[in-house]
Amino acid sequence: MCTVLQLSDLHVEPAGVLAYGQEDTAGKLPVVAGHALELAKDVGADVVVVTGDIACDGNETAYRQVADAFSIFDAAGIPVRFLPGNHDRREPMRRILAGYFGDFWSGDRLDQTVRVGGVRLFLLDTLQPGRHWGAIPETVLERLADELSDPAPAMVFTHHTPLTCGMGVMDEDFGNREAFLKVLAARPDVRLATGHMHRAILQTTGANVVVTAPSAALAIPVGFTASAGDCFRLEPAGWALHQWREGAWNTFLGHFAMEASYAGPFPFAGAVNPED
Ligand SMILES: [Fe+2]
Ligand SMILES: [Fe+2]
């Protein structure tokens, strides 16, 4: 059995700075980490995976705040593993959050393998500096295909989702989309869990279940117009819990018990996708 608590899209700003002028993500951070630790202990989580947009603009101060907030997991003996999103920078993440990664696949990117008993988690880095949308390089897909040729149970995590859902501006390109889905399709028992959409979404490809975790901050209202996805509301932080049990992945979705005004919608004005 393997139990994974997934958090996504913390969008942490330096203390005192509101994300997009509205949400106190720095103040929310230790509250979210505290609730996450409580949940992880309650369900016996083996690992916590945070699927990107850790900082709101790649700010080093934000990564230090994240390292400090998640250090409470160290004492509990529960490992935390981070992936980058489009609002992150690889170099400061790797440096400041050292100790919070699995086995890296390369010296520069943040693709990694996390092993929990006989279950393998493949955390794939989809960050393209300066761009909002994601991609997976051919070499990473080749490695993934090779890893998945081993029939042992596995799950794949990314920040960006390769699937579209009709939410206007969030439906974007995904580099190597078809090749990625083809690699996954060879293993229908493998689940893909993503972030980036700031809303819980369950989708299927031809073979695989894809689940997008709700965000810890800046919740995007559901909408199907061309401009849908360009605004957010102030909601409680969400979570996803994935458990490999009796030959299948079960995914549970929920929110932490915390105050929220649900105010909005507010625009993602001045969003930054760091270029380095
Ligand atoms: Fe995000
Ligand atoms: Fe994102």
Name residues with Cβ closer than 5 Å to ligand 1, which is an ion.
9, 53
pLDDT of residue 171: 95
Ligand nearest the Cα atom of residue 9: 1
User: How far is ligand 2, taken at its centre, from the CA of residue 227, in Å?
Assistant: 17
User: How far is ligand 1, taken at its centre, from the CA of residue 9, in Å?
Assistant: 4
The rounded percent of the chain whose pLDDT value lies above 90 is 97
User: How far is ligand 2, taken at its centre, from the CA of residue 13, in Å?
Assistant: 15
Q: Give the β-pairing of 103-104 and 112-116.
A: antiparallel
Q: Tell me the per-residue pLDDT of 100-134, one tens digit each, with 9 for 90 and over.
A: 999 999 999 999 999 999 999 999 999 999 999 99
User: How far is ligand 1, taken at its centre, from the CA of residue 55, in Å?
Assistant: 9
pLDDT of residue 206: 80
User: How far is ligand 1, taken at its centre, from the CA of residue 243, in Å?
Assistant: 24
Ligand nearest the Cα atom of residue 56: 1
- Measure Cα distances from 217 to 6, 137, 179 in Å: 14, 28, 31
User: How far is ligand 1, taken at its centre, from the CA of residue 21, in Å?
Assistant: 16
Ligand nearest the Cα atom of residue 55: 1
pLDDT of 205 over the 90 cut: no
User: How far is ligand 1, taken at its centre, from the CA of residue 1, in Å?
Assistant: 30
CA atoms of 202 and 204, how far apart (whole Å): 7
Rg of the chain taking only CA atoms, in angstroms: 17
Ligand nearest the Cα atom of residue 158: 2
User: How far is ligand 2, taken at its centre, from the CA of residue 23, in Å?
Assistant: 16
pLDDT of 166 over the 90 cut: yes
Categorize the per-residue pLDDT at 72 as very low, low, confident or very high, splitting at 50, 70 and 90: very high
pLDDT of 276 over the 90 cut: no
Q: Classify burial at 221, counting beta carbons within 10 Å of its beta carbon; exposed 0-12, middle 13-18, buried 19 or more.
A: middle
Ligand nearest the Cα atom of residue 159: 2
User: How far is ligand 1, taken at its centre, from the CA of residue 248, in Å?
Assistant: 28
pLDDT of residue 270: 83
Q: Tell me the per-residue pLDDT of 130-165, one tens digit each, with 9 for 90 and over.
A: 999 999 999 999 999 999 999 999 999 999 999 999
What is the 3 state secondary structure string of 120-168? Answer: EEEECCCCCCCCCCEECCHHHHHHHHHHHCCCCCEEEECCCCCCCCCCH
pLDDT of residue 269: 85
User: How far is ligand 2, taken at its centre, from the CA of residue 158, in Å?
Assistant: 10
User: How far is ligand 1, taken at its centre, from the CA of residue 16, in Å?
Assistant: 20
CATH T-level fold of 2-262:
Purple Acid Phosphatase; chain A, domain 2 (3.60.21)
Q: Which amino acid is at 219?
A: A
